[in-house]
Amino acid sequence: MSGRRQIALKAAGSAGLLAALAWVVDLGGVPERMAALSPKGLAMAGAAVVAAIAVSVLKWGVILARRGHPLPALRLTRHYLVGLFFNNLLPGTVGGDAVRAWATTRDTGEVPEAVGSVVTERLIAGAGLGLTAAIGLVFLPDPERFALPVASFLGINLGLIGVMLLPRLADGAVRAVLPAGWAAGTSGTLRAIRAGLSDLRILGPVLALSVLFQCLVAAVNAALFWALGVPVGLGACLIFTPMIFALTMLPLSLSGFGLREAAYAYFFAFAGVPMADAVAVSLAFFALVALISLPGAPLFLLSNRPAHIGAPDFKPEVQP
């Protein structure tokens, strides 16, 4: 499918989802609700976004360093911000993860390891999504109400890791989704992914950092709801935020527009949040992350010089 057709289909998906949302939610009051967000609450949410970015850069750096390709923390931060910019503000078919992998390849000269580090980080982050939602059950007065969907969510994410750890299943999955000519060139990347996932010195720390990252993302939502004067419990944010952002990864809309807002309205309704307020927080979240990712644009234009390979910012013992 051509890039233009993909963009057109995603745009149609966003328009359809927003139209369906407008059918059940009065969106006319959303701008007014967004204007009511307190500056203090917005500042708290922004600080949580910056902290989450720092944690994400750290866990990615751990993977690269353990695999024998350490990069300076500032270089990794640059690549991450560029990827975040691509994910949030550009409608094209090249996602932020692909940009991160490309930039890391230029720095390390290792395509399988660069791509493998991004995919490994994503897979472990998925398990972190499920674990964070499970932690949220502890803070709910009626955890049994959401136990089954949370367990299913966690099981799916752990299952993806299990598939990648089994060579035959992983190779079969790749061949099923990629053209034959492409699948033949992925063996090195799959080996790098399996090596990363099977190394407990990668899996343990990166999983812990992934849970911390998701807790910080949930804190962004909690701060935004507080800024709006809508009390939402910690448990609700910890459970619903991972599920919402897992849904927005589906290629059904432009930058998650429509899908994200509908998910906010649906899930946070269980916490008693008016749907219009949930949509306002969804849009505020996107705007805040987009604003913080703006430096990624000039950084991308200036990122022409490879970093010094083997820089010592991350120094865990390396196992080639």
Is 96 in contact with 297 (CB distance < 8 Å)?
no
Whether the predicted pLDDT of 70 surpasses 50: yes
Q: 73-99: per-residue pLDDT in tens?
A: 999 999 999 988 888 766 554 577 888
Q: Is 200 exposed, middle or buried (0-12, 13-18, 19+ CB in 10 A)?
A: exposed
Region 289-313: what's the mean pLDDT? 70
Structural domain range at position 122: 36-296
Region 245-272: what's the mean pLDDT? 84
For residue 141, tell me if it sits in a domain.
yes
Whether the predicted pLDDT of 179 surpasses 90: no
213 vs 125: CA distance, rounded Å: 9
Q: In the structure, what pLDDT confidence band is assigned to residue 27 with cuts at 50, 70 and 90? A: confident
Is 222 in contact with 152 (CB distance < 8 Å)?
no
For residue 284, tell me if it sits in a domain.
yes
303 vs 308: CA distance, rounded Å: 13
Q: Could you tell me which of 26, 24, 35 has the C-alpha nearest to residue 276?
A: 26
- 3-class secondary structure per residue, the chain: CCHHHHHHHHHHHHHHHHHHHHHHCCHHHHHHHHHCCCHHHHHHHHHHHHHHHHHHHHHHHHHHHHCCCCCCHHHHHHHHHHHHHHHHHCCCCCCHHHHHHHHHHHHHCCHHHHHHHHHHHHHHHHHHHHHHHHHHHCCCCCHHHCHHHHHHHHHHHHHHHHHHHCHHHHHHHHHHHCCHHHHCCCHHHHHHHHHHHHCHHHHHHHHHHHHHHHHHHHHHHHHHHHHHCCCCCHHHHHHHHHHHHHHCCCCCCCCCCCHHHHHHHHHHHCCCCCHHHHHHHHHHHHHHHHHHHCCHHHHHHHCCCCCCCCCCCCCCCCCC
Number of domains forming the structure of the chain = 1
Q: 194-216: per-residue pLDDT in tens?
A: 999 999 999 999 999 999 999 99
254 vs 95: CA distance, rounded Å: 11
**Which residues are CB-neighbours of 254 under 8 A, at least 6 positions away?**
7, 10, 11, 13, 14, 91
66 vs 209: CA distance, rounded Å: 15
Calculate the CA dihedral of residues 268, 37, 238, 252 and round it to 10 degrees: 60
Give residue 17's pLDDT: 81
* Chain-centroid distance, C-alpha 25: 27
Q: In the structure, what pLDDT confidence band is assigned to residue 124 with cuts at 50, 70 and 90? A: very high
307 vs 244: CA distance, rounded Å: 36
**Which residues are CB-neighbours of 201 under 8 A, at least 6 positions away?**
66, 316, 317, 319
Is 127 in contact with 157 (CB distance < 8 Å)?
yes
Q: In the structure, what pLDDT confidence band is assigned to residue 311 with cuts at 50, 70 and 90? A: very low
Counting residues of the chain whose pLDDT is more than 90, the rounded percentage is: 38
Q: 216-227: per-residue pLDDT in tens?
A: 999 999 999 999
Q: In the structure, what pLDDT confidence band is assigned to residue 303 with cuts at 50, 70 and 90? A: low
For residue 156, tell me if it sits in a domain.
yes
Q: 129-170: per-residue pLDDT in tens?
A: 889 989 888 888 788 888 888 898 889 888 888 888 888 777
For residue 65, tell me if it sits in a domain.
yes
167 vs 161: CA distance, rounded Å: 12
For residue 301, tell me if it sits in a domain.
no
For residue 44, tell me if it sits in a domain.
yes
For residue 11, tell me if it sits in a domain.
no
For residue 211, tell me if it sits in a domain.
yes
